[in-house]
A and B are shown apart, each in its own frame.
Chain A
Amino acid sequence: MSVELLKGNVALAEAAVRAGVEAYFGYPITPQTELLEHMAKRMPELGRVFVQAESEVAAINMVYGAASTGVRAMTSSSSPGISLMQEGFSYIAGSEVPCVIVDIMRGGPGLGNIQPSQADYFQVTRSAGHGDYHPIVLAPASVQEAIDLMTLAFDLADQYRHLVFVVADGLIGQMMEPAELPPMQPVRTAKPDWALTGAEGRDKRVITSLELTAPELEAVNLHLQAKLQTIRETEQRWAEQWTDDARLIVVGYGTAGRIAETAVRQARKEGLKVGLFRPISLWPFPEDRLSALADQIDAFLVVEMNAGQMWEDVRLAAGGQVPVMFAGRMGGMVPMPEEIYEAIQQLAEKLPGDLRSGG
C-alpha cells in the first residue's frame, strides 16, 4: 500500500470497489460526477455491474433490485438527486435490503448551486423517505476518512440489512489529498439467506415493504425500531480533541469540523480552554458522549454549513444543561477559520467564567 494523491470523489469510488461493491447505478450530478465516471471505467473492467440510469429515481430502484439479489450495491448523488431518491430509500428500509449511498452535498434549496454545503443533514438523518426510520449516516472530514468510512459503510449495511449514507460536501468530493487505499477485498461469493436467487430447491422468497394490515405493519415497525435501537446503542462514532479541560466545546462535522479544528487550535494557542467534538456518525448521533461532556462545560458552539440543523441534535444531547450556540454559513459559503475563532471569542465574553482560567 502506498500514499497517493487522490480526489475525494475518485477515492470514494475506488474505496467502494475495493470493499467489494458488485453493482453501481447512478446519474451524473455536480459535484459528485467523478465518482460515477470512475465506476463507469472500473466496474466493467472488473466484470461488475455499472448502469448509468435515466434518473436518480431509476438509479435507486436499480440499487434496490440489485441489492435484493444479495450483492453489495450502491449509488451516489448530490442534494437534488438525493431528494429524488427518497422514494427508493424508504422501500429499501422497509424491505431491509442493505445498500450504500454517497451524498456529496451542495447548496440548496431547489437547484441551489454546486458549492459545498451541509444542508442535507435533516434530509439524510431523519428518515430519508417516508415512514418511520433513520438510515445510518457517516460523515468524513478528509479524503482518507472518506476511504475508511466507505469500507465501514458496506460492513454496517450488511450487518444490519439497512441503508448507510456516506455524506460529504463538494469540498471533500472535489479536493485532492494524499491518502492510502485499502487492499482489494474479494467479492463475496456466498449469498445471504434472504436474497432473491431463484426458488430452485427451496421455498420462494419475497422482497417487499408491503404489509396491508395495521397489526402486521406495526410488527414490522417494532422489529425495525428494535434494530435501530441496537444501532443507536452500538454505532455512535466521533472524534474529540482538547476536551479534557474544555469549558467551551465546538461541535462540527465533515468540512465544518475540520475548519473548526484550525480555529480551536488557534484558541488553544491563545490559552482559551476550548475543545473540539466532531461527530462521525450523524445517525446514530453521538449523543451519549455529548451528553456526558455537557456535564463538565459551560457551553457548546455548533458550526455547520447550513442554518443550524445538527444544532437541534446537540441541543437534544445537551438536554438543557448548557447553552448551545450556533455559527454557520449557508448557500455554499464555506466558513473561514477566522470566522469561527471570532465566534469563539464572542462567546467567551458572554460566558460567566473566564475561558482562560478553566474554573
Chain B
Amino acid sequence: MCAVSMVEQAEEKVVYKRPDSLNDCATHYCPGCTHGVAHRLVAEVLDELGVRGRTIGVSPVGCAVFAYQYFNVDGAEAAHGRAPAMATGIKRTLPDHVVFTYQGDGDLASIGLAEIVHAATRGENITTIFINNAVYGMTGGQMAPTSLPGQRTTSSPLGRDVELTGFPIHMAEMLSASPGAAYVVRRSLHNVKEINRAKKAIKIAFQAQLAGLGFSMVELLSTCPTNWGLTPVEALAWVEQKMVPVYPLGDFKVYDAVQTAAKR
C-alpha cells in the first residue's frame, strides 16, 4: 500500500486485474486444472464486449457446476446435460440478452448430446463453451465419450478399448455440419499461445451471438491432472502430445458474416 502511494499518479497503469465479470472468490478447481483459465477468458471477453449486465450464464453438472458462483453475471444451474435447453428457454424470452452455456464433455457429449445437437440445429442464438478434458472429472475419473483410445480411467481400467466402448466423439466436427451453427471451433489451453488463440475464439463466438448469427461453440482442450494422475505441467504436455492429435485444433465452421461481425 505504501509502495503504491509513493508512485506518482501519472505512472500508475493497471495492466492486470480481475475482470468485473468474475466474482472475487476462490474456486474449487484442482491445482493445474484449466477451468480457471477458461473462466477468466470468458469473463475478460464479457468485460471487453461490455455485456456483463445483460448476460445470463447457464452452468452444467460436473466440475463446473458452481460456475454460476464464479461468474459475476446472472446465472442458472441446469440439470445434467440440459444447459442448452435451459439456455433456449432463457434466450427465447430474453432475445436481447447474451446467453451462454458452460459445459464439460460428460454433460455435453454424453447425457446432453440431444440438447446440444438440437440447439445447434435450431440455430439457437447462444454461445457454448465446451471443456473437453477426455474424462469425467467430478465423479472421479470415469471414461467419457471423449476419452482417448487406450486411455486408462476408473471405468476403463485396462485402457479404453474401442472394440468394446467405441471411439472418441468429435463434437466440434459434428456440430459444424449443422446449418444452424454459425461458428464452431476447437482451441486448446495448454500454453500461452493457444490460450491467446482461445480467447480470440471466445470473443468471436460472443460477437456472432451479438450479431444474431446463430449457434456458436468453442471447444477447449483442457487438463485434468487429478484424474489423469499427472502433475499440472505433465498434464499440459499430455494435452499437446496426446489430445491434440486426436482432436485437431482449428475452425470447423465460420460463416462469412461471423468474420464481418468480429471485425466490427
What is A's interface to B at a CB cutoff of 8 Å? Answer: 22-23, 25, 49, 51, 53-55, 57-59, 61-69, 71, 73, 87-88, 91, 95, 196-201, 204-210
Contact = CB atoms under 8 A, between A and B. Distances in A.
A68 B90 contact: yes
Given A198-B56, A206-B68, A65 B79 contact: no
Nearest to A67: B89
B68 to A, nearest CB: 5
Contact of A196 (B74, B85, B122): B74
Contacts of A91: 78-79
Contacts of A73: 89, 93
A104 to B, nearest CB: 22
Contact of B52 (A22, A71, A196, A199): A199
A71 B97 CA distance: 15
Contact of B75 (A49, A64, A88, A207): A207
Contacts of B59: 208
B85 A198 contact: no
B97 to A, nearest CB: 6
Contacts of A53: 85, 118
30 contacts: A23-B92, A51-B122, A53-B85, A54-B117, A57-B85, A58-B114, A61-B89, A61-B115, A62-B88, A64-B85, A65-B87, A65-B88, A66-B89, A69-B56, A69-B90, A87-B79, A88-B79, A91-B79, A196-B56, A196-B94, A197-B94, A198-B97, A199-B52, A199-B73, A200-B53, A204-B72, A208-B59, A208-B68, A208-B76, A209-B77
Contacts of B91: 65
A124 B103 CA distance: 31
Given A49-B93, A63-B89, 18 more contacts: A51-B92, A57-B82, A58-B115, A61-B78, A61-B85, A65-B85, A65-B93, A66-B90, A69-B93, A91-B78, A196-B56, A196-B75, A198-B55, A199-B73, A199-B74, A200-B53, A204-B73, A208-B75
B92 A49 contact: yes
Contact of B92 (A57, A66, A200, A207): A66
Range class of the B interface residue count: 35 or more
A87 B90 CA distance: 18
B54 A198 contact: yes
Contacts of B97: 197-198
Contact of A25 (B56, B65, B89, B114): B89
A51 B122 CA distance: 10
Residue among B53, B85, B91, B97 facing the most chain A CB atoms (10 A cut-off): B85
Contacts of A197: 74, 94, 97
B216 to A, nearest CB: 18
B89 A206 contact: no
Contacts of A59: 85
A64 B73 CA distance: 18
A161 to B, nearest CB: 15
B93 A66 contact: yes
Contacts of A205: 74-75
